[in-house]
Structure 1
Amino acid sequence: MASFCDLGLSSYEERVYTALLELRTGTAEEIADQSDVPMGRIYDVLNSLESREVVRRNPNSRPREYSPVDPELVVSRLLEQRKQELDVKQAQLESTAADLLSQIGQKAPIDGKFWIANEDERSLFDGLVNRANRVTDEWMMTWTASAGGLFGLEDPNDEIWPYFGDVLEKETQFKLLMTTQLINILPNDFVEEMADAIDDYPNFEVRITDGVYNSLDIIDQTDLAVYVADPFDPQSILGITQINNPEYIKLVKSSFITHWNGAEQFKKTTGQGDA
Structure 2
Amino acid sequence: MSLVSLSGLRTKTPSVQTLGVLFFGLLCSFDFDAAFADCVPRGVGEPAIIDRVLDGDTVKLKDGRHVRVLGINTPEIEHGEKAGQALGTAASDAAEKFFSRGKNVRLFYDVQRVDPYGRTLAHIYDPRDRSLSAHLLREGLGFHVAIPPNLSLNECLHAQEAIARNKLVGVWNDKHWKPVHASLIGENDLGFKRVTGRVVDIYKTRSVWLELDGPITIKISSTDLKNFPARDWQSWKGKKIEARGWVTTQTANKAAGKKRKSDSPTKQSNKYLVMQPRIAGNLELLEK
**Shorter-chain TM-score: which interval?**
under 0.3
TM-score (norm 1): 0.23
* Higher share in strand: 2
Q: Which has the larger radius of gyration?
A: 1
Greater RCO structure (CA 8 Å; 6+ sep): 1
